[in-house]
Amino acid sequence: MRIDLHTHTVFSDGELVPSELVKRAMELGHTAIAITDHVDVTNIDFIVPNIIKAAELSGDYITVIPGVELTYVPPSKIDAMAKKARSLGAEIVVVHGETVVEPVPKGTNLKALMSSSVDILAHPGLLTLEEAKLAADNGIALEISGRAGHSLTNGHVACMARKAGAKVVINSDTHAPENLMDERSAGIVGLGAGLTEDELRSALNDTPYGMIKHLIK
């Protein structure tokens, strides 16, 4: 079972239309995929309704989950934006975390982890133990990323998550066809981050399935 909860299409900076993304994921053995295109205050009203339309593909391919990735949103606005995404119909709310390879606003991790409307903090970079404890307390999953650059701190994220007892998920952050990961490739990313076999099983299957089981067709 392969579940990927962080991907992008032509609605933001991805290369594929939703139908091709979903079909390619299906061919790689995915059970479900979330489309989480980048949004901020300027485009959320346009993108979420169109991604919801993509969920109609679930009847022909695999389960498609409409979502968003709040990207470069000022930290003070993250909670309100996450709530708005929910109100528009997003089932998975990802926040673009403080990756070490981009100038993400300082404080993004903290504000995301304080929001009851956020599901995943993507590529959180050099997050602190206190932030990881917030993730654990609030049930927000920390991402182990398959994307080049963002993956540089995967080992640190795994370590902080273990110390804090926080949940971890392994996502592709797909922007192009070659970014999609089958179960084996995602497992390599997890093991490379230092996850144990039990942690890997949870990150690949138990945690993501628990987040979307009510949506599986």
d(CA 97, CA 85) in angstroms, rounded, equals 17
Average pLDDT score over the chain: 97
Q: How many CB atoms lie within 10 A of CB 117?
A: 19
Q: Sorting pLDDT into bands at 50, 70 and 90, what band is 216? A: confident
Task: Tell me if 121 sits within 8 A of 113, measured CB to CB.
Answer: yes
The string of DSSP letters for 143-200 reads EEE-STTGGGGHHHHHHHHHHHT--EEEE--BSSGGG---HHHHHHHHHHTT--HHHH
| pLDDT confidence of residue 1 | 83
For the ranges 18-22, 49-53, 194-198, 212-216, the lowest mean pLDDT is seen at 212-216
The string of DSSP letters for 95-157 reads EE---TTS-PPTTHHHHHHT-TT--EEES--S--HHHHHHHHHHTPEEEEE-STTGGGGHHHH
d(CA 8, CA 71) in angstroms, rounded, equals 12
CB neighbour list of residue 103: distance below 8 Å, 6 or more residues apart = none
| pLDDT confidence of residue 160 | 98
pLDDT one-digit tens code per residue, 180-193: 999 999 999 999 99
pLDDT one-digit tens code per residue, 147-158: 999 999 999 999
Task: Tell me if 47 sits within 8 A of 12, measured CB to CB.
Answer: yes
pLDDT one-digit tens code per residue, 31-77: 999 999 999 999 999 999 999 999 999 989 999 999 999 999 999 99
CA-CA distances (angstroms) from residue 177 to 42, 53, 82, 150? 27, 21, 28, 18
* Whether pLDDT at 140 is above 80: yes
pLDDT one-digit tens code per residue, 81-90: 999 999 999 9
| pLDDT confidence of residue 206 | 97
Average pLDDT over residues 107-119: 98
Q: How many CB atoms lie within 10 A of CB 77?
A: 14
Task: Tell me if 108 sits within 8 A of 97, measured CB to CB.
Answer: yes
Query: What domains are defined for the chain?
Result: 2-215 (3.20.20.140)
Amino acid at 211: M
| pLDDT confidence of residue 217 | 63
CB neighbour list of residue 15: distance below 8 Å, 6 or more residues apart = 175, 176, 177
Average pLDDT over residues 123-129: 98
